[in-house]
Each structure stands twice: as C-alpha cells, then as structure tokens.
C-alpha cells in the first residue's frame, strides 16, 4: 500500500512553483481560490490537494503528476 507523503509533496509543489516563477497568490487565483491560504497549507505539508487539484496543478505548472506527488510505502 502507498500513501501521499504530505511534507515531501509540499516541497515538490513549492519547487515546481519556483521553477515556473509562480507565487502562491497567483497559483491560488488560477485554481479559483480567493486567497493563498490553501496553497500555503499544501506547501507546508499540512494538507494535500484533491486529485482534481493535483491535475489542475500539473496543467498550471506545466508538469506531470509524478513531479508533484511523492508516495511512500506503508
């Protein structure tokens, strides 16, 4: 069985944002959020995006899902 490692996934999201030059408030707006608090919780590893948001992140950040998600074996 596998699960999403929240902390590592958050770091991967942050890295892709950095590579694309996108700030959390801009990413939040592109994903339809009023502010960046949800994005910041993802980056800190407190929560993870839904599957739909992972797909939308990959589109906005022009990357593959594997570039954003880190799975760990449990």
pLDDT in tens, the chain (74 residues): 999 999 999 999 999 999 999 999 999 999 999 999 999 999 999 999 999 999 999 999 999 999 999 999 99
Which pTM does this prediction carry?
0.95
Q: Taking a C-beta distance cutoff of 8 angstroms, is the pair 7, 69 a contact?
A: no
Count of C-beta atoms within a 10 Å radius of residue 66? 10
């Amino acid at each position: 069985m596998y699960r999403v490692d929240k902390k590592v996934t958050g770091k991967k999201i942050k890295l892709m944002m950095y590579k694309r030059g996108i700030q959390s408030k801009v990413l939040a707006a592109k994903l339809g959020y009023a502010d960046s608090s949800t994005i910041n919780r993802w980056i800190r590893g407190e929560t993870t995006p839904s599957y739909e948001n992972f797909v939308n992140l990959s589109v906005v950040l022009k990357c593959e899902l594997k570039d954003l998600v880190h799975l760990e074996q449990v």
